[in-house]
Chain A
Amino acid sequence: MRFQLSEDQRALQAGVRELLERRFGREALRAAVDTPGRLDRELWRALGDAGFFALRLPEADGGVGLGLPEAVLAFEEAGRALLPGPLVATHLAAGTVPGAATGETVVAAVYGELVEWLEAADVVLGDTGDTGGTGNTADTGNAADTGDTRGAEPLRSLDPLTPLHRVPAARDAAAAAPLADLLTAAEQLGTAVRVGELAVQHARTREQFGQPIGAFQAVKHLCADLLVRTETARVAVYAAAVTADPADIAAARLLADEAAVHGARDCLQVHGGMGFTWEADVHLHLKRAWVRAHRGGGSTESEELLAARLAA
């Protein structure tokens, strides 16, 4: 057993981080906030070129030929960078929806009652994102199971970086989607990591009562708890990527949702009044964490799945 990142995995992580810093740095992030609803197609293709969507496709099919652990590392970085767009749906559609793998086609999915990025998408899938294997095992000849978006109503989305539509009681609202859950958990982990960095940075530099606020135990303990939740979520997410076991994935999802949402709130607290402003990025992380926490069945479904396992 060697439950640590391999050299190659570290390199991949660093590579994705570097790409995202270059293509989607702070300025791009704030620009995206100022143009809500607009998906940057150029960035999407750049992600496609870098293999973000084709990561798990076999090399014979033009993919990168890597596995779930690598996908999880890439999605953690996407979460850390607060990268917008229907990343999970497009990644899961690579290999079945033409153009998804290269970033030519933007694919969204209906998750329960919600659809992210409906208007920007070229293709919308049902809640069948992943029945296992390397991608969407769509059984239809025309490549994709079209999501039922009849009667979709736009919401005034709380997250300025994620347009949302609500669909009336989706057909397969309760369909389990373990891979979408796992990649969502990886994005949440990235958020937890990022808000932890922001909190610690602020705690080191902001001074009150003549010393950095990070010297105060109350602040220290907020940061310590944030780290503990993040590291616990991290091992759960990584292990689920290795085993792909639905119960491991459910556990990862629960812990990662908690780490992201709770972490973003604590980060906001550490920032004081500054944290409550539109200028600080904290609210963007919190809002996205909330959006992801609603993806699919939310926590109830994961908890019930794990309870059922226990009693089996």
Chain B
Amino acid sequence: MDLSYTPEEEEFRARLREWLAKVLPTLPAKPPPDDWPGRRAYDLGWQRMLYDAGYADVHWDASPTTRLIFLEETEKAGAPYVGAGFVGLLHAGPTIAAEGTDGQRARWLPPILRGEEVWCQGFSEPGAGSDLAALRTRAWRDGDDYVVSGSKIWTSHAEVADWCELLVRTDPTAPKHRGISWLAMPMDADGITVRPLRTLAGSAEFADVFLDEVRVPVGNRVGAENDGWRVTMVTLSFERGTAFVGEVVACRRVLGELARAARENGRWDDPVLRRRLGRLEAEFRALWRLTQWNVSEAEASGGVPGAGGSVFKLRYSHARQELYDTAADVLGPGALDLDRPWVLDRLSALSYTIAAGTSQIQRTIVAERILGLPKGR
């Protein structure tokens, strides 16, 4: 067991730190949360800067440890988050890299890396959430195109996306996991209607997407026809395995801020609150260690993150909610004021135990895939 980094890794860290210190002060001001075109431009601008500096493909090509250092340092320095680039960089991209043809890689990967195109994820449907494989959006062949009809829901960033990783049913007669295909759908195609949905935090983070005979070239299918479920499992392993790493660092920073705020407003004198903060510190220290453990394991086994991602996701999503609930205790009545720091974060943290697979679904995955307990019906 070794927690020290190699000289090369330390050198990467030092170079990155130096670069961050130089460029972060030159960034424009962050756009307000509801300015979607502004957020898109901001997030893509950041990705372009990373690209020009040679850091763009750190999510895909670098070793897992290098990626860990990247996420740790950017987060510590307060650099922008992937934001609108999330789906492209953290799951569509890696999926295409792993499962796509050379032509598909050449067409879709460079624009993601250069910060030119935004992707969204069209998996969930009104009748297929946790039971994702029950999806009904249909695609049938017409010449060189698939013709797609149906609807998707909770599609994050749909309003500003150029591409959608879309799951469709290409064989309605096959068992439900077998008749699915994974398509890259251009969001400017005819027949697509995006209707923003308001979240409980008041913003329009995600949307309904209606598909009415949308034509998608057959060449946009990643993986074989009707083999989309397997491709999806690759996508989801990236989503659960590596997507939250940087956030743990951010949570530890917030925890320090909470302690300082509590000192200033006198709540620190309450031993119950103090002990809660102490326990959270233990929690986030351990979550960081879990990250290092999972990364080392991925490094040893070569690439795709394992089921340990579900262990992490389960524990982390609850810890994050506890963190912001504790922030509310530090704030007192300020916890009801949307203009105070942490109040919006507390609301958005409510989605963590639901999005990317609910906690209930994750527990079932842990029990069946890690512990080998029998499948129920």
Number of A-B contacts (CB under 8 A): 176
**Is B76 interfacial (CB-CB < 8 Å)?**
no
Q: Would A236 and B286 be within 8 Å (CB), given that A69-B1, A241-B1, A251-B281 are in contact?
A: yes
B366 touches A224 (CB 8 A): yes
Q: Is the CB of A311 within 8 A of B289?
A: no
**Does B198 lie at the interface of the complex (its beta carbon under 8 Å from any beta carbon of A)?**
no
**Chain A, interface size: which category?**
35 or more
- The answer to whether A1 and B5 touch (CB under 8 A), given A227-B371, A247-B285, is yes
Do residues B286 and A232 form an inter-chain contact, with CB atoms below 8 A? yes
**What are the residues of chain B within 8 A of A2 when measuring CB–CB?**
1-2, 296, 299-300
The interface stretch among A49-57, A90-98, A142-150, A214-222 is: A214-222
The answer on a CB contact under 8 Å between A304 and B275 is yes
The stretch that binds A, out of B159-167, B218-226, B238-246, B256-264, is B256-264
Q: In the complex the two chains form, what is the Cα distance from A243 to B285 in whole Å?
A: 12
The answer for the CA separation of A228 and B370 in the assembled complex, in Å, is 11
Does B65 sit within 8 A of A, measured CB to CB?
Answer: yes
User: Are A310 and B282 CB-contacts (below 8 A) given A228-B314, A239-B292?
Assistant: no
A residues 201-255 near B (Cβ < 8 Å) are 203-204, 211-212, 214-217, 219-221, 223-225, 227-228, 231-233, 235-236, 238-239, 241-243, 247-248, 250-252, 254-255
Residues of A within 8 A of B274 (CB): 303-304, 307
A228 touches B367 (CB 8 A): no
Docked CA distance A308–B260 (Å): 11
Could you tell me which residues of chain A, from 278 to 312, have a CB within 8 Å of some CB in chain B? 299-300, 302-311
| Measured CA separation A305–B282 after assembly (Å) | 10
How far does the alpha carbon of A305 sit from the alpha carbon of B281 in the complex, in Å? 10
B3 at the interface (CB under 8 A from A): yes
Q: How far is the CA of A3 from the CA of B68 in the complex (A)?
A: 13
| B259 engages A220 (CB within 8 Å) | no
**Which one of A4-12, A23-31, A99-107 is at the interface?**
A4-12
Q: CA–CA, A3 to B297, complex, Å?
A: 8
Residue of A nearest to B370 (CB): A227
B residues near A, CB below 8 A?
1-6, 9, 65, 68, 255-256, 258-260, 262-263, 268, 271, 274-279, 281-283, 285-287, 289-290, 292-293, 295-297, 299-300, 308, 311, 314-315, 360, 362-364, 366-368, 370-377
Supply 26 A–B pairs (Cβ within 8 Å), ascending by A. A1-B5, A2-B299, A4-B1, A4-B296, A5-B1, A204-B373, A215-B373, A216-B376, A220-B368, A220-B376, A221-B367, A224-B362, A224-B367, A228-B314, A235-B292, A239-B289, A239-B292, A242-B3, A251-B281, A255-B286, A300-B275, A307-B281, A310-B258, A311-B259, A311-B260, A311-B268
